[in-house]
Amino acid sequence: MTGGSKHRWRSALLKFALSLGLVAIFLSLVDTSTVLASLVAVDPATMAAAVGLCFSQTLFVGLRWHALGHRTGGFVGRWQIMRITFAAMFANQLMPTSIGGDLVRIGLLGRLGVPVGRGARTVVLDRTAGLLSLLTLMSVTGIVLGEQLPADWPVDFIRVLPVLAIALVLTALFAGNRFGDTVEQRLKLAWFAQLLRDSSRLLRSGVTTVVILLLSYAVHSASATCIWILARGSGVEIGFVQVLGFLPIVILVQLAPVSIAGWGVREGTVITLFALLGIGSAPALAISILWGAAIAAGAVLAGAIWFLTRSAGERLPEQSASSDQSEAYTTFH
């Protein structure tokens, strides 16, 4: 085993230990009988619907990625993009960070003849579309739920920050052509310059831009609906808008590369946010565990579809299979 492999295994084990430890701590701090009662209260039909909603997110992401990929240049077919997205979703539940799934996307695209640089740009643009939709939803947290946040929270900052961030990102993307020439000529960053040009072309595409944004909101709405029906199924009364308002915070916290698929940090965040609504720690923990289980089941379903439809010899790229691939992505993300 090489030094790099040992480091990756050590990192993965530490993150697994952190996830397991955090969940164990939360369970030790609440009434486990209440957690168990909330878990078993959810009927199989509700759980199946939750898994379906989590799986539908993969479809929305695949459609979004396909749309922006074709709008910014030559790309592969919709079915191939869906298959790659299935594999990436599965990888996100196995690899220590969410970036692992993006490297899988770039790697599998490369096997279909798409250059690494081109594939990385489409993934970054796809991530950017998701970020913009999250930022707009964060404004819901500040505007709709502002009165429910603690008095010592920076509510005005929460309201203004997403708007400023959106304005900054959109300005940079709309001016991509102008910035791209400067970046390429003066900084000699051809890859980043082309990313700016692609983003400018995408934002000026009209209908495609609207479709991409709608698909982004569909992804987050599916998550919110999943949490909402699981909460209602376990006997917790909570409004859909409340879930949608807190969702961006939970998603952003899960992206921190310190756990396995967000386990542990997700539960802590859900408990904290639901407490603001007067929901106890035990039912909140149960809802988060059910949500995590639904995400994992959706990922397994996606992985099974990819596995059953893969060509001979096709397999998931290793996270470190290509140093060029990793550098092309991590340098700009």
Specify if 238 maps to a domain: yes
- Please indicate, yes or no, if residue 172 is contained in any of the structural domains: no
Residue at 195 is within a domain: no
Range of the domain at 57: 46-134+209-330
What mean pLDDT is reported for the chain?
83
Q: Is 188 contained in some domain? A: no
In a domain, 175, yes or no: no
- Closest CA relative to residue 52, chosen from 225, 268, 249, 271: 225
The verdict on residue 177 lying in a domain is no
Q: Residue 204 falls within a domain, yes or no?
A: no
pLDDT in tens, 202-225: 777 778 888 998 999 999 999 999
pLDDT in tens, 183-203: 666 666 787 778 778 887 877
CA distance 176 to 174: 5
Number of domains into which the chain is organized: 1
Tell me whether residue 250 is in a domain.
yes
Please name the residues in contact with 221: beta carbons below 8 A apart, sequence gap of 6 or more: 244
What's the pLDDT score for residue 164? 73
Q: Which of 286, 259, 310 is nearest to 108 (CA)?
A: 310
- Give residue-wise pLDDT tens across range 268-313: 999 998 998 889 999 999 999 999 999 999 999 999 999 999 887 6
pTM for the full predicted model:
0.84
Which pLDDT belongs to residue 252? 85
What local confidence, expressed as pLDDT, does residue 88 receive? 93
pLDDT tens, 149-191? Answer: 666 666 666 667 777 777 777 676 666 666 666 666 666 678 7
pLDDT at 167 (0 to 100):
75
Residues 35-60 have a mean pLDDT of 95
